[in-house]
Structure 1
Amino acid sequence: MKKTSKQLPVLFATAILLASTVLSPLAQANETSSSSSSSESSVTTSKSSSVASTSTTQSQPSEAISDSSTSNTNEPSSAREETPKTEAASGEAHVTTSEFTTVANIGQIQGEAHESPYNGKKVKVSNVVVTKTDRYGFYVQDLKADGNTKTSDAIYVVSKEKVTVGDQLTIEGQIKEGYMEELSVRPGQTFRKPTDSLTVTQLFASKVTKNGTAALPEPVNISDRMPKDIVDNTPTTYDPEHDALDYWESLEGMLTTVKKPRVLGPQYRGDIYLLPAGYQALPLNNIGGVNLRPNVQNTATIPVYVGNKYIAKAKDYFNEDVSGVVTYRSKVYKLEPTKLPDLQDGGLQREVSKIYPSEDKLTIASYNIENFSANNAAGETPDAKVDKIAKSFINEIHSPDIITLIEVQDNNGSVNDGTVSGVQSGEKLAAKIKQLGGKEYKYTEVAPVDGADGGKPGSNIRVAYLYNPQRVKLVEREVGSSTEAAAFKDGHLVKNPARIDPTNPTFTKVRKSLAAEFEFKGEHIVVIANHLKSKLGDDAVYGSKQPAVQNTLAQRIEQGKLLNAFVKEGLKQNPNLKFVLTGDFNDFEFSETAKAVAGNELVNMMLNHDAADRYSYFYRGSNQSLDNIFVSKNIADKTVFSPVHINASFMEEHGRASDHDPVIAQLDFSQKKDDTTPTQPTEPKPSGDSTTPPNRDDKPTKKRILPSTGTTGAEVAVVGLVILSATLLWRKKVTD
C-alpha cells in the first residue's frame, strides 16, 4: 500500500502529459476555427450597420412637399382682351332701319367675346321669349338658337314694362355693357365701379311689343361641358371649350339646369353652391363636398341665388333638377333660379371631437371666434353667440388646456373711440364657460396699437389666449408691450407673452403673432397664435384680370419666414423647447405660406391628417383649411391632430357660432423617458475575442468549471479516456 501511494502522482502526471500531447493539435485547430468565425461575425455586423444607416437616412421625412398650386399666380396680371366682332359676323345679316339695327338673333348681339360688338348701339330684336322677370327688368331668349355654342342666345333687358314669363316680344333699345349691381343704386347714391369685375351685356329697352306667347326653350345642362380650368394657358383668347370663364359667358342670360344637385355648404349672402348628381371628376370629401387642392380649380361648383332667408347646410340635396338663368354679380357667375324644388335634409350633424382630455397629454385648440367682443349691442356680439362659443368649448372640443383665440376685438367692438384693451372681451367668454359648467380659464393678451392691426375699423382685433391654470402654468415674466419684439434668452422667452417683430413692415395693418411660454409637467412649450394677412386684395377668380393673381401671397410668405426664424432661434438656444404654432394663416396647407412657416423645424399637422377631412372653412363652393397647427419636430411624432366641424358647413340655425371650425392638437408627454430610472443593459456586439454571452440576470458571473463553449466534444472524450486509463492502471497496481 505504501509503495502504491508513492507511485500515484507519477501515474497522474503521465496521464496529464499524454492528454496534453493528444489535445494540442485539436486545440490549435479549434483556435483557428474560432478566429475565422469571429472575423466573419465582425464583417456581418459591419454590413448590418451600413444597411441600418442607409435605411435611417432614407426614412427621414421630406423637408418640403411639392406644390404647384401657385404656379400661375406669379404671372403678370393681364386684362382679358376682347376681340370685337364685325356687325355681320358668321354670315348673319342685319338691317338698319332709321336709328335701330335689326339683328337676326341675340347670339349676334352677344358675339364670341365678353363684350358685345354692338356695345353702345341701338338694335331691334324679334322672336324672343321672356324666361324670368325681376324688379329691374327681365331675361329673354331666342326662340330658335343660332347653333353657335360660343355665343349666348339670351340677354337681360332693362325695362319697367310689365311682362310675364312666356311672352313673345319684339324689343327696341340700346346695348350697354354694365354691372347688375348698378341697377339697384338709388337716386342720390354713387355707384362704385368694381376694380376687376366683368360686365353683363344689357339691352336698355325703349320699346317693347308683345306678340303673343311661346314655349320656353329647353334649359342647357350647365355641367355637361364645364371646363376644369378657369382660364387655360391662353388668357387673351376667348375659348369656351377650355376656359370655364368663357364657358359661363357663352351661357350669359340663358336657361340652364343642374341635375339633382347636392348642397356643398351653408347659404351665405343669398347664395348656395351646388354640385350636380353623379359628379366624379374630383375626389369628394367626407361630407360629399370638394376640398381646395393644389393646382385644381373646382369649376363644377355652381352658385345659385336663393335669398338670405333660405336655410341650407352642407350635404342637403334636391330630388329634382334646379333650373335658372345665368347672371353675373359680385364677381361670380351664378344662376337666378326659375325652378327650385323643395330642399331635402341630408342629415349632417355638428361633430364632437374625438380627442379627449388625458392627464399626461397637453391639448391645444385654435378657434377663430369671428369678431368677438364684450359689446352686445346691435351689430356687435350678441349674448347668444357668446353662449354658443362657450358651449362649443365644453361640449364639442372637451375643454382644451390652452385655447388660442383669433379675432378678439377690443372691449367695445367696432366703436371707434381709442379703446384697445380686449381683456373684458376675453374675460366675458371665460366667465360664460365657467357659468355653463366648464373649466375656469384665465385670459392673457398684448393689446395692439390703436388702428394698427387691420380688421373691422375701430375693433382692433388681435390674437389672445385662454388657458386652464389647473393644468398649465403661464411662465411668469413681464408682459411684452405692443411694439416690443419677443426674444429668447437662455432658451426661454424674455417677456411673456410677447409679440413677434410687431414693427416689421410685413406686419403693417395685420394682426401681430403672439408667443406665450407655458409649462406642463416640467416641459416648456412656446405656443404662437397667428392671424396672417387676409386674401382681401387678391384678383377675383372669375374676374377681368386673368390669370387671377394672389396679390397678398408674398406678404404672407414673408410673415411665415419671420415666424420660422423665431422658432429656429428658440431651438438654437434650447433644443428641448417645444413649439406649437396655431391660428388662421389665411392660406392653405399646401401653400407657399405654409411651407415658409414650417421650414425644416416644424411639421404641418394638417398634412398628416386624412385628406378627405382637411378643411376648417367654406368659401364659394370649396372646403379649405385656413386654420392650421404646426409643431416642432421634437414632439411631432407624439402629437395627434384634428379639425372639428361644428361651424363651417352650417348656418346659425343649425348651431353655427363662427365662420371657422376649431382645430385641435394633443401632445403626449406620458412616454417621456425618466432619467432616474436605471437603464437595462444593452447586449454587446459580437467581437473576435469575446466568447462570453451577456449576463441577462444582472448577477455576478462565476468562474467557469465546465469547458468553454469553444471546447469540442472530441476534447472532452479524450480527457475522459486518459483519466479512465490512469484509474485502471492505478487499480491494477493496487491489486498487484
Structure 2
Amino acid sequence: MTISRRRTGGSTAGGRTLTSAAALAAAVVVAGLTAPAAGARSSGDAVIAEVYGGGGNAGATLTNDFVELANHGGTPFALDGFSVQYLPASAGASSTWQVTKLNGAVAAGSRYLVAEAKGSRGTVALPTPDATGTLALSSTAGTVALVSGGDPLTCKTAVDCSADPRVKDLVGFGDAVVREGDPAAALSNSTSAARAESLADTDDNSADFAAGDPTPTNAKGETPGTAPGEPPVSAKIHEIQGTTRVSPFKDKKVGDVTGVVTAVRTFGSSRGFWITDPHPDSDPRTSEGLFVFSGSTTPSVAVGDAVTAQGTVKEYYPDAPSTSNYQSLTELSGARWTVNSHGNALPPSTVLTPDQVPDVLAPNAGGNIEPLPLEPSKYALDFWESHESETVSISDARVVGPSNSYDELYVTTKPRQNPTPRGGSVYLGYDETNTGVLKVQSIIPYDQQEFPTVNTGDVLTGTTSGPVEYSSFGGYTLFAAQLGAAQDNHLQKETTRRQRPGELAVATYNVENLAPSDPDTKYAQLAHGIVDNLATPDIVTLEEIQDNDGATDDGVVAADLTLRKFTDAIAAAGGPRYQWREIDPVNDEDGGQPGGNIRVGFLFNPARVSFVDRPGGGPTSSVGVAADHGKAHLTQSPGRVEPGDDAWTDSRKPLAGEFVFGGRTVFVVANHFNSKGGDQPTHGRYQPPSRSSEVQRQKQATVVRGFVAKLLAAEPQANVVVAGDLNDYQFSPALAELTSGGRLTDLISTLPPAERYSYVYEGQSQVLDHILASAAPRGVDYDVVHLNAEFADQASDHDPQVVRLRPSTGNRLSDLGYDLLDYLDRLLGRTAPLG
C-alpha cells in the first residue's frame, strides 16, 4: 500500500508545504537555471495581491472568480488606463490575453477588488467590487498580469513578457508557462493564491504567493464576513477558539487579539507564528493558543514578543471545506500585528502525562462532530482540539512510527497502551485506536538541528515541546520548537528460520511499486530480505510489481525486465535462481499508480518446488477447477480468478498457481485487494468514520472464498494457501468473509495480539498482509518478519511474512511417514539446501 501526498518535500502543516532550509537552498540553485522572470521589476506600490479562479465551481463557497490588487506604497496609485489580463497556463497559437479594464485608484495601504466570471455554484457573494469583468480564470493554473494600458498583451513566454514594459506585475500559478521565477502553487475550487501581508515582491511567484482560503477584500476593507464599514470585533483567543471545533468568529474580522509568541515557523509556504494568551479563562474546552498565518513570508516576530493582532478568522481545511473529511485549523489570516514588548516569559506548556489523554478517541456522533461541544476529559480528539495551537511537551517520548521522507515521526504519550514487543503501538480493533499516538514534526531550521532518523522503539530523550495543531496526514501534530535527542535502542531486523527438508515455505511480500528504474540499492535490499531475512522461501507471492517502464503510461504492460532484475539481485545476494510466473494485465485496468500496471506474481525455487504450467491463462481468462480421481487441478496455471467480476474493477486480479512439492500438490492464490482510498480518516470530523472501500474488499473476499470452495469440493484435503496484501485488518468484514465457513484460517490471528502487525501507518502498528491456509497442511509454522515497517531505512513499507508447512498427500499413512521424517529432521537439526 502506498500513501500518496500532495506535496513536494519538506514537512507540512495542514497540507501546506514546509521546506527545510537545505531544500530552500537547493531551490535557489535550481531557480538560477530557470528562464528570466516575467515582469522582473519589483513593484514598490501596486501589486497583484490575490488570484482566485474557482468561483461558482463545485465545492466552492464564493460565487465569483476575482483578482485583488494592493498598494504598499505611501501614496494612492492611479489605475486609469490600467487593466487586469489573463492567459491560460499553456498558451497555444490561438490563445490570447483576455482583458478587464480598470479605473479609479488603489489607496496607500489599501486593496482593490476586481470581480470576474460568476459560476453556477457557491453560496457567498464577493463584497462590493471596485471593478467588474468577465474573465473566466482557471481554478488550477494560469497567468494574471497587471498591465499599463488596455490593449491585450501579445507575449506568450516568460522571457517575452519580462521584456514588455507594460507589465506592472504578474503571477503565474500551477503549471503556468508565463510566470515570475517559479510559479505559485496549483490552486483548486477552494483555494486562492495570495501574496503575504507584507506584499513583498521578490519576482518569484512561488516565494511571494501561498495557496489558502480565498479572502477577497475591497477598497473599503469589506470581506464576505463583514458588513459595509464594519470594524474588527475585539476578541480574546479563547473567545476565537470557542467551545467547539469551529470558531464562532469564522470568516469575521477580529482585532485587539493579544498574546505572547511561543513559536515561529520561518520556512516553507505555511509560515507564521503561534501566540498564547497568558491570562486564560477557566473553561478547559477553550484553547488559549492561535496560529497567525503569514503565507510564504517570514513574520517579523520573535519568541517572547507580546503582540496585538488583527485579521480574519479562518478555518483552514486541506481541501474543499464543504466536502472535506478532515478537521480544520482555526487561524488568523490576512493578519497585521504590533509588537508591544520583547523577552516576555512564555505561558506554561501542557505537560503530557501517560494518563492525561483519554482512551476513547471520539464521540460516536453518527456524523460531523464539529458542532458538538468539546469534552476534553472524555475524548482524545476533543483533548487535542482544546489545546489547539497551545504549547505541549512530552519527556522521554517513545517512537512508535519511524521517521520518514517527510521529516515526520510518531511518538506515544501513553507508553502502556497496547505496546508491541518491539516498541510500537498495535491496533487491535476499530474501537481500539491508540489515542496516545502523536505525530512530531520540527519547526527548527535544519542549520540549527537536523531532523532525527529514528526507528520504532527509539526514544526522544529529554523534552520535546511545541505547539500542537491538526494535520490531514497523521492527525494532531506537535510542531517541535524543542526536539529531544534521539536514543537508539538498536532495533534489529528480524530473521526467520530456514525451512526443513520436508517443509514447504511460502512467503508474501509487497515490494512497493517495484520498477526497473528503481535504484539498484532497493533491489539489493529487497533481495537480501528474501535471502537473509526470509531464509529463501520456496514460493513467494509478490505484490506491486510494475511493468517494464514503471509509471510511464504508454501502453507497456510486460514486467519481465522488472522480474529479471529482481531475480538477478536475489542470485547476487547468494540466493537461488528463482523462476517467476505472472500474467500481464490489461493496460490501466488494475488500479495503482497510473501507467505502472502493478500486478501480483509468483517467484519459486525450482530446486525445491516445481510449477505446473497449463496454458490458457490470460488477463481476461478465468481459471477453473477440474477433478481427476479425487484430486483437484487448475484448468489454467497460472490463471486469474474471475477477472471479469466487478469485484476487481480498478483492482488487481488474484493469480492462482499449481505447485508440486515432494510429490504433493499445493495451490497458492496471490492477492492484492483494493486500497483504502476514499475511506474517511480515523481522526477526521466524521465519527465514526465511513470505510467505503470495505464494500469492494468484501466482494473480493467472497470471490476468493468461492474459488477456494471449488478446490476443496474437488479435493477436500487439498493444500491451499491464500496470501497477499489484502489491505485490511484481521478484524475487518473482508477477513470475516474470507474465513467464513471455516475453510481457511487467517494465520495472523494465531499470533499473540501484540504481535499482529505487518505495517505501520500514522504510528499504529497494524495488519494489511495475510497468509491463510486450508485445514489439510500439518505442522503449520507462521512468522511475520519485521524488517521494513518499523524502520526509517526500508525497502518497502510492508513487512513480509512466511508460513512453513508440510503439505498433505491425502493419505493418512503417507502423511504419517512424512511427519516421522520431519520429526527426524528437527531432531537432527537438518535444514533445506539452498538449491
Please classify the TM superposition score into its range, dividing by the shorter chain length: 0.7 to 0.9
Asked if 1:262 corresponds to 2:398, the answer is yes
How far does the alpha carbon of each residue in 1:54-82 deviate from its partner, in whole angstroms, 9 at most, with x for none?
xxxxxxxxxxxxxxxxxxxxxxxxxxxxx
Aligned to 1:245: 381
Query: Within 5 A, what are the aligned runs for 1:39-438?
Result: 99-103=231-235, 105-135=236-266, 136-159=271-294, 160=297, 161-179=299-317, 195-213=324-342, 214-223=344-353, 224-234=355-365, 236=369, 237-238=372-373, 239-268=375-404, 269-276=406-413, 279-280=415-416, 282-294=417-429, 295-306=431-442, 310-331=452-473, 332-353=475-496, 355-374=497-516, 376=517, 381-438=518-575
1:233 Cα deviation from its structure 2 partner:
2.8
Asked if 1:604 corresponds to 2:746, the answer is yes
1:309 Cα deviation from its structure 2 partner:
5.3
- Alpha carbons 1:230, 1:297 under 8 Å: kept: yes
Alpha-carbon distance in structure 1 between the residues aligned to 2:282 and 2:472: 30
Alpha-carbon distance in structure 2 between the residues aligned to 1:521 and 1:140: 71
**Which of 637, 643, 647 does residue 788 from structure 2 map onto?**
647
- Alpha carbons 1:261, 1:274 under 8 Å: kept: yes
Runs of at least 5 residues in structure 1 that lack an aligned partner in the other structure: 1-96, 183-190, 680-736
1:544 Cα deviation from its structure 2 partner:
2.2
Aligned to 2:600: 463
The secondary structure found in structure 2 opposite 1:595 is helix
Aligned to 2:724: 583
Higher share of residues assigned helix: 1
Relative contact order (alpha carbons < 8 A, sep ≥ 6): 1 or 2 greater? 1
How far does the alpha carbon of each residue in 1:376-426 deviate from its partner, in whole angstroms, 9 at most, with x for none?
2xxxx1111011111111111111110111100011111111011112211
The secondary structure found in structure 1 opposite 2:314 is strand
Alpha-carbon distance in structure 2 between the residues aligned to 1:452 and 1:207: 52
Alpha-carbon distance in structure 2 between the residues aligned to 1:422 and 1:611: 38
Aligned to 2:626: 489
**Which of 587, 590, 614 does residue 450 from structure 1 map onto?**
587
Alpha-carbon distance in structure 1 between the residues aligned to 2:750 and 2:532: 25
- Alpha carbons 2:514, 2:562 under 8 Å: kept: yes
1:146 Cα deviation from its structure 2 partner:
1.0
The secondary structure found in structure 2 opposite 1:385 is helix
Alpha-carbon distance in structure 2 between the residues aligned to 1:644 and 1:626: 14
- Alpha carbons 2:237, 2:277 under 8 Å: kept: yes
- Alpha carbons 2:292, 2:335 under 8 Å: kept: no
- Alpha carbons 1:230, 1:243 under 8 Å: kept: yes
Asked if 1:441 corresponds to 2:578, the answer is yes
Aligned to 1:21: none
Alpha-carbon distance in structure 1 between the residues aligned to 2:591 and 2:336: 50
1:476 Cα deviation from its structure 2 partner:
2.6
How far does the alpha carbon of each residue in 1:598-639 deviate from its partner, in whole angstroms, 9 at most, with x for none?
22201111111232221110001111111110000112x421
How far does the alpha carbon of each residue in 1:669-695 deviate from its partner, in whole angstroms, 9 at most, with x for none?
59986758999xxxxxxxxxxxxxxxx
1:368 Cα deviation from its structure 2 partner:
0.5
The secondary structure found in structure 2 opposite 1:125 is strand
Alpha-carbon distance in structure 2 between the residues aligned to 1:669 and 1:253: 59
Alpha-carbon distance in structure 1 between the residues aligned to 2:807 and 2:230: 87
How far does the alpha carbon of each residue in 1:628-652 deviate from its partner, in whole angstroms, 9 at most, with x for none?
10000112x4211000011110122
- Alpha carbons 2:291, 2:332 under 8 Å: kept: yes
1:232 Cα deviation from its structure 2 partner:
2.2
> Bigger CA drift: 130-139 or 400-409?
130-139
Give the letter for the 1:489 counterpart. Answer: A
- Alpha carbons 2:396, 2:484 under 8 Å: kept: no
1:666 Cα deviation from its structure 2 partner:
0.5
Alignment CA distance shift 1:677-1:372 (3 Å): closer
**Which of 798, 805, 808 does residue 660 from structure 1 map onto?**
798
Alpha-carbon distance in structure 2 between the residues aligned to 1:488 and 1:352: 37
Alpha-carbon distance in structure 1 between the residues aligned to 2:503 and 2:810: 11
Give the letter for the 1:590 counterpart. Answer: F
How far does the alpha carbon of each residue in 1:543-579 deviate from its partner, in whole angstroms, 9 at most, with x for none?
1222211111111111111111110111111123210
1:229 Cα deviation from its structure 2 partner:
2.3
1:542 Cα deviation from its structure 2 partner:
1.6
Runs of at least 5 residues in structure 2 that lack an aligned partner in the other structure: 1-228, 444-449, 818-835
Alpha-carbon distance in structure 1 between the residues aligned to 2:279 and 2:377: 22
Alignment CA distance shift 1:644-1:206 (3 Å): closer
Aligned to 2:672: 531
Aligned to 1:57: none
Alpha-carbon distance in structure 2 between the residues aligned to 1:154 and 1:482: 57
Alpha-carbon distance in structure 2 between the residues aligned to 1:676 and 1:338: 68
Quick check: which has more Rg, 1 or 2?
1
Alpha-carbon distance in structure 1 between the residues aligned to 2:307 and 2:333: 14
Aligned to 1:633: 775
The secondary structure found in structure 1 opposite 2:776 is helix
TM-score (norm 1): 0.73
Alignment CA distance shift 1:433-1:676 (3 Å): closer
Alignment CA distance shift 1:349-1:676 (3 Å): closer
Give the letter for the 2:340 counterpart. Answer: N
Alpha-carbon distance in structure 2 between the residues aligned to 1:356 and 1:672: 25
Alignment CA distance shift 1:433-1:149 (3 Å): same
Alpha-carbon distance in structure 2 between the residues aligned to 1:255 and 1:569: 60
Give the letter for the 2:284 counterpart. Answer: T
Alignment CA distance shift 1:416-1:126 (3 Å): closer
Give the letter for the 1:478 counterpart. Answer: P
- Alpha carbons 1:416, 1:458 under 8 Å: kept: yes
Alignment CA distance shift 1:427-1:205 (3 Å): closer
